[in-house]
Amino acid sequence: MMGAAENMTDALQKNESLLTMPELVAAVKGSMLGVGAESVSFTSVATDSRNVVSFSLFVPLVGEKQNGHIYIPQALEKGASVVFINTSEYSEKSALYDEMASKNPGVAFITVENTLHALQDAAEAYVAKFPNLTKVSITGSCGKTTTKELMAAVCVRHFGAENSVYTKGNFNSETGLPLSVFNIRKEHKVGVFEMGMNRVNEIGEISKVLKSKYGIITNIGTAHIGILGSRQNIATEKRKSFDYIPADGACFVPASDDFADFCTQNVKGKIVKFGDDEKSLAELGISDVKDCGILGTKFILDGIQVNLHLGGKYNFINALGVIACAKELGIPAEEIKEGIESVNGLAGRLEIKRLVLKNKSLLLIQDCYNANLDSMSASIEFGAKLVQGGAGPDDAGVCGKDACKIIFVLGDMKELGDSSEKSHREIGTKLNSVAENAEVFVFFVGPEMHFAFEEFACKNHAEYFENNEENSFRKIADKIEDIASKDDVILLKGSHSMSLEKLTDLFLKDGGTLKDESL
């Protein structure tokens, strides 16, 4: 009768491994502990032991506060078949890991110089097994997730869902991108992958993993400027997403971005600049553009009407980048239309709801996933337009009149570093211009938002809260319920850590109801 370890080994042999053990060891420049696991298979990859399933490769990451190696026992219990170990970790605790390997002969323990880099190297080797996969990368300071969703939807319409793979959620980082590409399978014809960054050369590392044929940069803004120091430095990092585009590939950048030329220097493939100016629109076959405010944008593409359900000019620009890329891929207008029209608001990103509260019908806009100077300015402009006319069908405004007001709840913009005070003061100045043409009330939330509050001239139409504690939200909710009138607009915007969405929860607890607003 076979033992448990032999049973596991036999079962593993029957699974098609993402990489063979020789391929994996060579890719990560690793060394295998002991003998007997040279033919082990792995069919998934996890960096969190809670996500480990049978036949997983477990990659324990080491951060400032956490050493993932302590979770190796849990990963083994859940069925991990391959485990990476940092060489420094092994040197300190060789007896522990040698014993672990001897007790689990059906598991491959591989020592590597750095588990993060080994994850990336393994992912790079895996992607290389699919030379015929058409790969599209998407990055930018704002709008990359929305653009990815639009691009993926268009590709699904053309290539088929079973032949398309794309980033799920926001798995776009130094670890997220490698984990995402391990979802590629032999039946896939196209892959759409999002790239994010929080440090220098993160884009460079994951671009080397993916080596896309097509790449979109949505914009060069101020997100993470506190880490990178300037927009110039951000552009230097973002353009690394174009490093591996071949001569028969293409890159796409907004024509109006002042870093468009910089980002496309030395690109081997075709350079396409997209935008909403007359010339750029004509080149894409687009005409008769109509801004429908909260309902989105209508336009004609190659003679076919398209309804983009995402409000805001910036979302229209994102869609133009998708259209430009889709045309390079040979996707016809009808399928581009179907893909674009299948995408509605993303969770936390400009979610537009009709809120009925205290017998008053209000418009609630929740944009709380992230915030920087560019995205907050765009949200404020979008909200202002709703109550200044031109926001609804036939330019009627969201209210059908110009009498409704907008209530802003604005939370701190994080990761702005030395530019934080200046950026927050700019928000206060922008609100002054809005207040000249519309009735507004502003709640400023967070220590950094005090700078915006100082700049905002209409103090009798504003309140400041130093923190985002429950008591602050309760006071804000009570005040909104008191001052809001029928058809008023409530716009929540701030970095994710400010948790402004808790206000929505309070409205619902107070008896409010929500329903989607759409075309």
For every residue of 160-173, which 3-state class applies, written as one string?
A: CHHHEEECCCCCCC
pLDDT for the residue 348: 61
**What gap in Å lies between CA 272 and CA 344, rounded to an integer?**
26
Could you give the C-alpha distances from 12 to 6, 17, 27, 47, 392, in angstroms and in order?
10, 9, 21, 20, 58
Query: 3: pLDDT confidence band, cut at 50, 70 and 90?
Result: very low
pLDDT for the residue 13: 43
Query: 325: pLDDT confidence band, cut at 50, 70 and 90?
Result: very high
**What gap in Å lies between CA 515 and CA 508, rounded to an integer?**
12
Q: Examine the pLDDT at 224 and tell me if it is beyond 80.
A: no
Q: Examine the pLDDT at 395 and tell me if it is beyond 50.
A: no
Give 241-255 pLDDT, tens digit per residue.
999 999 999 999 999
pLDDT for the residue 202: 94
Query: 143: pLDDT confidence band, cut at 50, 70 and 90?
Result: confident
Could you give the C-alpha distances from 317 to 224, 261, 275, in angstroms and in order?
22, 18, 6
Q: Examine the pLDDT at 129 and tell me if it is beyond 80.
A: yes
* Contact criterion met (CB below 8 Å) for 405 and 440: yes
List Cβ neighbours of 153 (8 Å cut-off, separation of 6 or more): 339, 340, 342, 343
DSSP letter assigned to residue 415? S
Tokens 């690109």, located at residue:
267
**What gap in Å lies between CA 427 and CA 449, rounded to an integer?**
9
**What gap in Å lies between CA 4 and CA 407, rounded to an integer?**
63
34-38, 57-61, 294-298 — most confident range = 57-61
1-15, 112-126, 218-232 — most confident range = 112-126
pLDDT for the residue 401: 43
Q: Examine the pLDDT at 519 and tell me if it is beyond 50.
A: no
10-19, 81-90, 412-421 — most confident range = 81-90
Q: What are 515's strand-pairing partners?
A: 354
Give 234-285 pLDDT, tens digit per residue.
999 999 999 999 999 999 999 999 999 999 999 999 999 999 999 999 999 9
Alpha helices in 343-402 (DSSP H): 373-387
Residue 368 tokens, joined: 């709380």
Helix and strand totals (H; E) in the chain: 20, 21
